[in-house]
Each structure stands twice: as C-alpha cells, then as structure tokens.
Amino acid sequence: MKFAVKALSSGKARAGVVHLGSCPSSIETPCLLLSTRKGLPIFISPDLLSSLPSPDSNLLQFSPLHLEGASSTLVSSGREVSKRCVNIGQEARWGDTTPNFDSSEGPSPKTISSIGGLHQMVGLHEYGFAAVARDSIQCLPECGSTNKTGASFETPCGRRLIKPVEYMEMITSMKPNLWATLADEVPAWANNKRNKTSVDRTVKWLDECIARSPAGGAVFGSIVGGSNIEERKRCAQEVAVRNVSGYWIGGFGLGESMEERPSLLNAVTDNLPKDWPRMICGLGLPEEVLQGVAAGVDLFDSAYIYHLTIGGFALTFPLDRTEKIDYNYQLSDQGSDRTKINLRATVYRKDATPIVEDCCCYTCQNHTKAYINHLLNVHEMLAQILLEIHNTHHYLGFFRSIREAIKEGCFEQFQKKFVQSRREHLAADVVSV
Amino acid sequence: MALRFEVLGRFNRARAAQLTLPHFACQTPLFMPVGTQGTIKGLTTDQLEEIGCQIILGNTYHLALRPTSELIDELGGLHKFMNWPRALLTDSGGFQMVSCITNLYVAGIFYTQWHFAYIFQVSLLHLADITEKGVTFQSPVDGKPMLLTPEESIQIQNRIGADIIMALDDVVRTTITGPRIEEAMYRTLRWVDRCIAAHKRPHEQNLFGIVQGGLDPVLRDICVRGLVDRNLPGYAIGGLAGGEDKDSFWRVVAQCTAALPEDKPRYVMGVGYPLDIVVCSALGADMYDCVYPTRTARFGTALVPEGVLKLKHNAMVNDTRPIDPTCACMVCKNYTRAYIHCLVTKDAMGSQLLSYHNLYYMLQFPKGDVPEWVCNAMDVAGIDISSCCSS
C-alpha cells in the first residue's frame, strides 16, 4: 500500500491518494469504504457493483467476524464451545454430544486460504478490502464482555469473543489489502478506569497482532481512548511509535456528542505522523464525516447508506456546491427533508421521475420513484438493491465534493455552508409546521 | 393477432421456432421466469437480459392488488413501469385465487436488519366460489367479497399491457375426479368467448386460450377443438403441474400437442422441472413458466445437471468447487459452494446469486445441448429425441 498527501486545506483536512496492490487505479482520499456483509455489498450484486463510479467505489469495508467458521481445532475439542457461536436447535450429528455449529457462519480459515483469500472468494479481484473487526452495522463492540483474553462483539450469531490469535488467523487466511489491529473499544460513558484499561489492552493487542502479521497487507494500528482527551493522546502517541502503515481510529460513534467529538479527534490526529493514512469507523452521517475530514482523517466506513436503504430512503441533498440555498423552501407533506426522500410515501405512487433528476446511477437511469414505491409496498428485494445503488452513488458524490473543496483550499467554508444549509432547512420546517 | 410464429427447425415432434411478439422476437422452446409483482425476486432487468430472459410472466392477481392495473396503465403499462424492454405475459388472475395449499407465500420478517418480508397467504380455496359469472372470493386486503369475471380479467390485463394475455379459465386440479371436470371444461369454453368479446387490444396483445379437461382424453379433445375453432393466436395446456403423476401428465401434453395447430405456439403452464421441459419440448410444446427455479433458490437449492444441490447442507461448508463446473454463469465462474453456503438463507445476496444461477440454468437449458443422460432417459421412456442430442 502506498499513500501520499497531495493537498491541505484549513490546516488539517487533507486530500491524498492511496494505492493498493489489487486496484488498478489509485483511490483519492478522503474516501468512503463501501459496507459489505461477508465481503460482498449487502444488496448490490457483484456485477452491478461495476456500475458505481470507479475507482471511488473500489474500497470495501469488511469484518472478519462475518465469516468466522469452525476452525479446525474447534471441531475436535469441546473446550471452546461456550465461547463460539452455537446455534441452538441444530441436531447433533453422528450421536456425538458436542453441539453442532451453525456452519453457515462461513468456511474455515483453511478453506479460505485454499481458495486464495478474500478477493478470490468473493470474486472481486480488482477491489481493495479493509478488514476491521468492528462493523457499525452488525458487529458492535460489547465492552462489558471484553476481557483480557479477547474483544467481545454482538453479532447476528450472538455474542462473540475474539482473541488476537484467532483474529490474526482470520486475517492471514483472508489476505485483505489493509487491516486494523484488534481493539478494545469503550463507549463514551465508560469510567476512567475502564477507559484506561482499554488503551493499555489495545496497545498490547496491537503488538500481539503485529507479531503475527502476515506478509503483504498493510497494518493499521488501532487507537482508542473513549471520551477522555488525555487517554486519546496517550494512545495515539503509543501507537505512533509502532511499526505500522496507517492508523485506525476506534471508539467513535459510541455515544460521544457532536460537540465533544472534534477535540477528541484532534487529540488523536495531532499526535500522529502526517504521512500515514488514518481510517475511522463510526462516523456515518455527512456532518460527522465532515468533522472527521476536518481533523485529518482519510478513510471512512459508514452505516448511513445501509440504514437509509433499509428504511426506504433515498439521498437527494444537492451535491452541486454552487447551488444557492433556497430560504423560501416550504416543508410539504412530501416525506422529504431536502436531504433524503422516503420512497414509501404515497405521494410517490405515480411519480414517473427518477430519484434525482440528473443522477447517472443505474437506479436513476433505469427506474422511477413510482416503481420503487411499488417494490417497497410489496416487500420486494429489488427495492433495497436499487436504493443501495443510488445511495452509494450519491454518497460517493458527496465525498468527491469534499475532495474538490480541499483541493481548492476552501474546505472550512464548505463544511460551514453544508452544516448551515441543513440546519436552516430544519429551522424553516419547524417554523412552518 | 399480434404475433408471428415461424417454425425454423424440427426434430420429430419437437420444434424450434421464432415467436415474434410486439416487444421482442423470441426463440422457442423458451422458459418464462415468474415475476409475480413486477420484478423477478432480487434481479434487475439488466441481469435478466444478460442471462437470456425473453419473456417474463406477471401475476394479474397481485398486480391488480398492488399497485393496481389502473396505476400501471396511467404510467404507460407494465413494460414501462418496470422498464423491461422485452416481452411480458400475464396470467388471468384465476389461478392464484383458487390455488390450493401447495401455493403458500411466506410472510414474516426475516431479520430485523433486512426489513423485507415474503407474504404467507393461506389458501383462498375455501373462500372462493366459482359460478358461471366468474370467481367470487374474499379480498385478502380488506375481506370484502370480490368477483373476477372473464371481462374483468381481460380489462385488467388490457391495462397492464402484456404481449400475451391469458383467458380466464375454470381450472380444477387433476387430482379431482367426477362431473366437476366436465363442468369446468365447458365453462372454460364459454368464458373464452366472453374474453374474446371483452378484449380491447387484439392488435397489441395476444389472447391465449387454455385447454382444460383434467386427465380425461375425451374432455381434453373437446376442449382443444373448441379452442381451435376460435382461432386464437396461441394455446396453453392448463390444469397440469398440480400433483398428478408424471405418466398421466405427459400423456395429456402429448394428446394436446398432437391436436393443436402446428403453426401456433403451445404453452404448458406451470412446468417446471428441467426434465419435464425436455419431455414436453420433445412432444411439441414451446413455452413454459414456473416459480420453481427462483423459489428453490431462496431456500438454498441450486439447479445442476445432476438434479439439485442443497447449498444449506453442512457438507458444503468447506467445498471449494463451484456450484456447477460446466455452468458459464457469473456465479459459477466466481464463487465456491463454501461461500454460497455461508450466504444462503441468511443474506439477501445468497438469494440473489442462487436465483441468478438457477435462472441462467433454466434459460440456457432449452437452448443448449441436451445432456447425454437425458437422451438416455428418453430412450428408455420410448421417446425419440436422438436428433436433439448433439454428438
């Protein structure tokens, strides 16, 4: 992996370029990592993925926990059973008393290795994968159950405890382009003692992970510290002296407020070398992304698109930075707040126009709001597929405007204007109701 | 008449033909995926074109409920509504109403994270009442009694705008015996006349009649002759694929294809399994539809030359072979059974990928080479398709 900063704006926001071995083109930063489930987008099938703008859409987020299958040691020994995902109700096979694992979790690391790794397994050879244990959609850190042996996550299979050894076994077999070390993330309300422990533990696990680091694949050192400025600083400084290729900033999107976030972010980025890329998890909303960019973060993974999609929402906020703010905007009963529309709203039943008039995504080029409204009404999967395509396309456009603003040296104004225009619409809506 | 049917090649009774419809020139024999509610579950129209889909079937009953045929008409017809440039066929709406317990739609929220539901709908048979007027049933939406007449069915289908529309028939299952079958057959003929009279767009939409008569060759013969007299653009063989034994099934198809005109398309409704399609094609049928490939995909089953492959099975968890090494579809070229196994029944993507493969299999199947094992089976069954089998 190669990374270089190309432009700075307002001091900290930076536009850069990252090059990964598997991707034919370099990817500009700040950039969005597309969310995946088991390596593929949640709804967009691989042949439709290519309809998204490239190379913007070539970086995918991935959690090894999505795919953890029975490892070869587990099937024979019953000791670790209680910590593994057990699907109650699976019949015991061949009369043995060891509960059978819900093997639809995934193929074993050995199998994944024999297939050739993640890229081979999901058939996306020209894409880049960033592996992080935490996934804001379905692998949520469970700090209450995390202990000195491993990090605990709530997953669709139940609560999982993952040790550095196991984590590294998965990373080694999957061969992502870049991966974050295992971290102990705590929510914003964790007490100081717990927070301090999380920093110590994360650094310890970082060293353990690096020690088992496979050849190839860039290591991103994980930085935590909750909502304590001192701990954030301490962790960043510790990780900054480790032999890593980039930094993964954890612990955000876990309860801290919009107001306290910038200083926490700066406490981290101020203590990191400028030349290595910074990745973050948990900053999903546009305003949150802007906070991250302002603090000098380069790579973002977001659950925003997923939640919009399953809610039936489509993004419509203007991407054109020169658009004038319409102060006379009235809130209609249109199920719209000028940033997104809810296509379940009955007002769209006969609307034969695309979601966004001049959007060139597959959905807007081929389908109407009326059709998507119908699909949502009859609970057809195609609705989510079309919405995920549009929302991803639109959000990638947002990131593009961010990059343009940085390159033009006016990121701060861009951020201000964006936040202000959204607040103004909300204020106007409140008044008109 | 809004179609042209031209036989291009023959293999004994089997024929390869070009069926030119208003929206698309199709090659037969062909399989029509069922796009119940204006979409094939989980696949885009682009993907369907790519895998070779020529005609999609839409369910009149479902579309009339949501979004309603009037809305579809207002927005320019179903082709425009779903942006499908090729051909469409709609059924009459009758079958869903009287369909029995074997046709259950699943309802429930799969995972709260997904937010999409299949709909479990209990059989409406006990609520349906068939009279000379039409089919009276209880609306699943609000419980009100509703009547579907032949006229109403055709009007709805006129609004939807498919290339081929089906006459409302009085369909009974082949497992029933007695005078009901005869009654249904004669009523079907009377209803066909009402359908013809009600059809407002004969130059844009082709009305197919449906041969009924259960498993009784005498009744079937009467029905075929009655329909042929009406000189319709095409004919369907209905009332099969409902649980009758296979030996009876093929005999009805054989009888009907022998008696139906050579120069018009023959559509065996609800068929089906690949082997059934091969047999019916050998006997001279041209068109088929079935929910089987897409439905079975959603339950984790893939169609392969040897039969079926249950991807959910534990044996698949570390199987690094593709679903079918002889299949050229995107799924078989890129994915292992192990990976599909971890997706199926748990993730939307699993359903999509399997539906893609299964449809590819069905759509390429009649066009491609007939596998050797099928030739052998036909031999034993006494049906000669030796000229269909390539060397």
Confidence of residue B274 (pLDDT cuts 50, 70, 90): confident
What pLDDT score does A235 carry?
97
Q: Which residues on A lie below 8 Å from B45 (Cβ)?
A: 366
Strand pairing report for A27-29 and A13-19: antiparallel
Return d(Cα A205, Cα A216) in angstroms, integer. 20
What pLDDT score does A298 carry?
97
Contact between chains at B338 and A115 (C-beta distance less than 8 A): yes
Which residues does B387 contact at the CB level (< 8 Å), separation at least 6? B11, B12
State the average pLDDT for chain B.
86
The model's pLDDT over B173-221, given as tens digits with 9 standing for 90+, comes to 777 888 999 999 999 999 999 999 999 999 999 999 999 999 999 999 9
A–B CB contacts, 8 A cutoff, strictly below: 153
ipTM: 0.87
Contact between chains at B317 and A42 (C-beta distance less than 8 A): no
| Ranges assigned E (strand) in B179-338 | 206-211, 234-237, 266-268, 287-290, 301-304, 307-310
Return d(Cα A33, Cα A27) in angstroms, integer. 11
Mean pLDDT of B291-310: 93
Return d(Cα B243, Cα B245) in angstroms, integer. 6
Buried b (16+ CB within 10 A) or exposed e, A97-132: eebbbbbbbbbbbebbbbbebbbbbbbbeebbbbbb
Closest approach of A382 to chain B, Cα-based (Å): 5
Which residues does A241 contact at the CB level (< 8 Å), separation at least 6? none
Give the B window 165-184 contacts with A, CB below 8 Å: none
Compute φ and ψ for B19, nearest 5 degrees.
-110, 105
The model's pLDDT over A321-351, given as tens digits with 9 standing for 90+, comes to 665 444 444 444 444 567 899 999 999 999 9
Q: Which residues on B lie below 8 Å from A37 (Cβ)?
A: 347, 349
Q: Does B187 or B364 have the greater pLDDT score?
A: B187
Closest approach of B250 to chain A, Cα-based (Å): 35
Which residues does B371 contact at the CB level (< 8 Å), separation at least 6? B305
Mean pLDDT of B302-307: 92
Give the closest of A45, A110, A362 to B352, CB-based: A45
Which residues does A326 contact at the CB level (< 8 Å), separation at least 6? none
Which of helix, strand or coil describes residue A137?
Answer: coil
Q: Which residues on B lie below 8 Å from A138 (Cβ)?
A: 113
Q: pLDDT exceeding 70 applies to what percent of chain B?
A: 85
The model's pLDDT over B6-54, given as tens digits with 9 standing for 90+, comes to 999 998 899 999 999 999 999 999 999 998 888 888 899 999 999 999 9
Whether pLDDT at B370 is above 90: no
What pLDDT score does B352 carry?
94
Which range, of A9-13, A120-124, B137-141, averages the lowest pLDDT? B137-141
Contact between chains at A46 and B43 (C-beta distance less than 8 A): no
Tell me whether B119 touches chain A (CB under 8 Å): yes
Return d(Cα B275, Cα A183) in angstroms, integer. 55
Q: Does A430 or A38 have the greater pLDDT score?
A: A38
CA-based nearest residue in chain A for residue B298: A381
